[in-house]
Amino acid sequence: MSRVPVRRRVPLRLAAAAAATCALTVTAVAPGAAAEYSRPYTETYRPQFHFSPAKNWMNDPNGLVWFKGEYHLFYQYNPNGDTWGDMSWGHAVSKDLVHWEELPLALPHDDEEMVFSGSAVVDHGNTTGFGTAENPAMVAVYTSHFKDGGKQAQSLAYSTDRGRTWTKYSGNPVLDIGSTEFRDPKVQWYAPTRSWLMTVSLSTEHKVRFYSSEDLKSWTHLSDFGPQNAVGGVWECPDLFPLPVDGDPERVKWVLVVNLNPGGIAGGSAAQYFVGDFDGKRFEPDDDGSYTPPAGLVVQDFEETDYGTWRTTGTAFGDGPVPAPEPGTSGTSGVEGKGLADSFHTGDHETGTLTSPPFTVTSPYLNFKVGGGRHPYVPGSVRGDSPAPPGEVLADFEQDGYGSWTATGTAFGDGPASGTLPGQHEVSGHEGGGLVNTFLGGDATTGTLTSPEFTITRKHLNLLVGGGRHPSGSEAPTAVRLVVDGRTVRSATGTDSEELNWVSWDLGGLAGRTAHIEVVDENTGGWGHILLDQVMLSDTPARPRSTETTVNLLVDGKVVDSATGADSGNLDWVSFDLRAHQGKQAVIELVDLNRAGWGHIMADHFVAADQPAVPALRRAHWVDHGKDYYAAVSWEHAPDGKRHMIGWMNNWQYGNDIPTSPWRGAQSIPREMALRTVNGRIRLTQRPVSTVESLHGPSVGVRDVRIAEGSAPLAAGRADGKALDIRATFTLDEAERFGFKVRTGDGEETVIGYDRKTQELYVDRTRSGAVDFHGDFPGVQRAPLTPRNGKVALRVLVDWSSVEVFGGDGEAVITDQIFPSPDSDGVRLFAEGGSARLDSARVWQLRPYRG
């Protein structure tokens, strides 16, 4: 996948580190090099039956093809580190989609290009001339990401020895439209026209483009599809394939999968899909994506030249609404009518508010559209300057050198920075003229800065912190630590922003202890730096400054509901539930207090209505409702005629920060895809490949169990384990919520439940072990699931660092990473709000695939 587009602003230094799509490079690697890839399968969090490389970074699956008895899995790979970079194609093969053998690097990056995502085909007809009729070539069609200028174009490489060594085509690139956002070709043989069909992404335009070729070298444009449904992030890694409906070969529909980042159903990365018809040239979805929101009283539509009775402060919103741009002429979309409120008045550096006059709440819902930056309202934050409470200043970094502080490495230089460093976006929020800033020479520099020891004499330690969000416990942190007796007792990090903000550490229980502060920059990737200023001991905690870009509803002067953008120029519907505030006085307030990237808010068309508006996010169809299923693509030429799909089991929100080593990244279990009629609609369903059963070890089964309110071990603890295949059926009873708790242990649990009222399957990983390495990781993911005949069926795959939950007939799927303690291996049943009934359950222990 690729990086998120930046709307009307200069990209951050992360541009390269952004969720890179896929890169591929061509060289032959000696088969003997595979020896270094042996692995013990004993590392903490090491997947036991999901593919992960022995070491280094992996993301998108690429080049999925079956050839001569092997399923090939290529994948985005960094051969030089465990965060995104130097994108190349790694390689693994399997005979059954379960037992994998990791092979040497297939297509490495080089001085000219990185090898981004793509696909592979077997050229049985030798249309390219790369092979022979007796020995057809395997051909990789990949995106060349050229390092000079960032252009993306489609290129070829070929292999005549079952993918073990590769040659880059001398005529590359074979498809170049001069774009920096043109990637991830999925190629297949289209039999009706006896030609190759390419499905490729125009990422920031939210379009999928179709091309045809007779030889994989010369391509003809057929048509475009999109934008439609979820467009809150870039479109990447598309896939197109036919499937029979309900197993009827006479009734075939086509499925178009489009991966999206950010803007997924659970936040960040996700895979959406469309069902429709394809005639060899054009894809027509069954649902055209149109939507009419509920009618109501228009409160404000921003169609006039000024704001009328709405009042502004600051400069961000200007004197009146912004005219809606012509479609396709800017990064803004989803505007209703002629104008909108937009705080990107002259740039992200401006701040201000836009507030409605007071009104009496009489309608059940307030519907409106919102877009722009993703900077939520934080209760307790302070607007404007938030000076530190009085106290003892340990360091203000106003001197020429670091004084008694000790620096190592190259990141800190000889003394404090005077503000923004060369190549850095504007730094703000510090006090005075100096601060610690490790963007010295860029993100590649590393080092430490250590204070002298001091005695803790106050209740709080307040400090201004900014920069990268790489927590202290991660492998490559950018963090500030409080160290007592050689142990880190408090830590803080930035929020991927150059704006410093107050952090306050409660020092309760540490009075009189000797401590020191360590500033650590061990990260060389995107946002690989830390900012620090104004370190103070105080008896009063500092309150953080608000950096929100929000639409707030205030009742009696208090914020009772709030919405923010998704770091996207697309405006989508949001609904505030007003039913608890009937008859009260309220105001609507648009707030922009952010000067950093995406530091603006957009809003339009406020309507008081009797029904809530449904955002495109919820109207779209999702392959998986979890946080960790992205770049989903399927295998070509499968010998059984089935359609098998796999996805990268991670999310670009925190993908570089997950606490695994020496590898980072895993693939989902391969899944068999189908189209089935569910509740009168054609839905994409999935189930784990049947060969998972080859990993089955001992099992235990139970039947007809009444689950009292609370929780209890399943099968008296005989079902406990860290790698499991669980199949169960529940009957709806009086319980409001029921299901399983897996990987339970000392304060840890991952909850896999069903909510009877909302008719949703859910996974709660807020207490799943290590969850604090990134703010977007803990949470609850939900998927709609209608009971059948009063029953709910679940299939759960538990691994050392993941859960994959399949509800019903596979129409509801949630994939989430988890990072529990190795000692947390319990499995429990639970019920809330009454009792529940488990009809039956069987749990198999799963053996590792030992790749």
The pLDDT tens digits of the residues spanning 211-256 come to 999 999 999 999 999 999 999 889 999 999 999 999 999 999 999 9
Give the three-state DSSP class for 124.
coil
Please state, in angstroms and rounded to a whole number, the distance separating the CA atoms of residues 560 and 546: 16
Please state, in angstroms and rounded to a whole number, the distance separating the CA atoms of residues 40 and 60: 24
Render pLDDT for 92-115 as a digit per residue (tens, 0 to 9): 999 999 999 999 999 999 999 999
- DSSP, residue by residue, 310-355: -EEEESTT-SSPEEPPPTTSSS-B---TTEEEES-SS-TT--EEEE
Percent of the chain with pLDDT strictly greater than 90:
84
Q: Side-chain half-sphere of 659: how many Cα atoms within 13 Å? A: 20
Give the DSSP H/E element, type plus range, for residue 672: strand 671-678
Task: State whether the Cα torsion 764-767-768-770 is positive or negative.
Answer: positive
- Of the pLDDT bands very low, low, confident and very high (cuts 50, 70, 90), residue 437 is very high
Distance, C-alpha 444 to centroid of its chain: 24
* More confidently predicted of 61 and 566: 61
pLDDT of residue 799: 98
Q: 454-488 in b/e burial notation, b at 16+ Cβ within 10 A?
A: bebebbbbbbbbbbbbbbbebbbbbbbbbbbeeee
- DSSP, residue by residue, 795-844: EEEEETTEEEEEETTTTEEEEEE-B--TT--EEEEEEESS-EEEEEEEEE
Q: Identify which of 386, 322, 302, 317 has the alpha carbon closest to the alpha carbon of residue 353.
A: 317
Q: Evaluate whether 488 touches 482 at the Cβ level (below 8 Å).
A: yes
What is the average per-residue pLDDT within 559-567? 94
Q: Evaluate whether 84 touches 78 at the Cβ level (below 8 Å).
A: yes
Q: 711-737 in b/e burial notation, b at 16+ Cβ within 10 A?
A: beebbeeebbbbbbbbbbebebbebbb
pLDDT of residue 510: 94
Q: Mean pLDDT lowest for which of 31-45, 50-64, 141-155, 445-459?
A: 31-45
Q: What amino acid occupies position 653?
A: Q
Residue 138, Cβ density class (10 Å: 0-12 exposed, 13-18 middle, ≥19 buried): buried
Q: Which two tokens stand for residue 61?
A: 């699956």
Render pLDDT for 595-636 as a digit per residue (tens, 0 to 9): 877 899 999 999 999 999 999 999 999 999 999 999 999 999
Query: Looking at the DSSP assignment, which residues form a beta bridge with residue 737?
Result: 755, 832
- Of the pLDDT bands very low, low, confident and very high (cuts 50, 70, 90), residue 472 is confident
Q: Side-chain half-sphere of 356: how many Cα atoms within 13 Å? A: 25
Residues in the chain: 851
pLDDT of residue 425: 87
What is the average per-residue pLDDT within 307-330? 89
Please state, in angstroms and rounded to a whole number, the distance separating the CA atoms of residues 56 and 36: 12
Q: Identify which of 419, 415, 421 has the alpha carbon closest to the alpha carbon of residue 430.
A: 419
Residue that has been written with the tokens 């520099």 in this structure:
445
Render pLDDT for 439-450 as a digit per residue (tens, 0 to 9): 999 999 999 999
Q: Alpha carbon of 328 to those of 5, 226, 288, 750: distances in Å?
A: 14, 12, 19, 43
Residue 34 clears pLDDT 70, i.e. is over it: no
pLDDT of residue 128: 98
pLDDT of residue 706: 96
Residue 811 clears pLDDT 90, i.e. is over it: yes
What is the average per-residue pLDDT within 33-47? 64
Render pLDDT for 474-511 as a digit per residue (tens, 0 to 9): 778 999 999 999 999 999 999 888 989 999 999 988 99
Residue 10 clears pLDDT 60, i.e. is over it: no
Q: Side-chain half-sphere of 188: how many Cα atoms within 13 Å? A: 22
Query: Looking at the DSSP assignment, which residues form a beta bridge with residue 818?
Result: none
Q: Which two tokens stand for residue 520?
A: 């650590």
- DSSP, residue by residue, 236-301: EEEEEEEEEETTEEEEEEEEEEEEEES--TTSS-EEEEEEEEE-SS-EEESS-----PPPEEEEE-
Q: Evaluate whether 558 touches 380 at the Cβ level (below 8 Å).
A: no
Residue 851 clears pLDDT 60, i.e. is over it: no
What is the average per-residue pLDDT within 408-427? 94
pLDDT of residue 716: 93
What is the average per-residue pLDDT within 639-657? 93
Q: What is the pTM of this model?
A: 0.84
Render pLDDT for 654-703 as a digit per residue (tens, 0 to 9): 998 899 999 999 999 999 999 999 999 999 999 999 999 999 999 999 99
Q: Mean pLDDT lowest for which of 15-29, 354-368, 456-470, 792-806?
A: 15-29
Q: Which two tokens stand for residue 91?
A: 């390689």
Tally Cβ neighbours within 10 Å of residue 506. 11
Cα pseudo-dihedral 109, 110, 113, 118, rounded to 10: -30
- Of the pLDDT bands very low, low, confident and very high (cuts 50, 70, 90), residue 199 is very high
Q: Side-chain half-sphere of 139: how many Cα atoms within 13 Å? A: 30
Q: What amino acid occupies position 227?
A: P
What is the average per-residue pLDDT within 535-553? 95
Q: Evaluate whether 373 touches 570 at the Cβ level (below 8 Å).
A: no
Please state, in angstroms and rounded to a whole number, the distance separating the CA atoms of residues 409 and 16: 24
Residue that has been written with the tokens 């174009």 in this structure:
153
Catalytic status, residue 60: yes
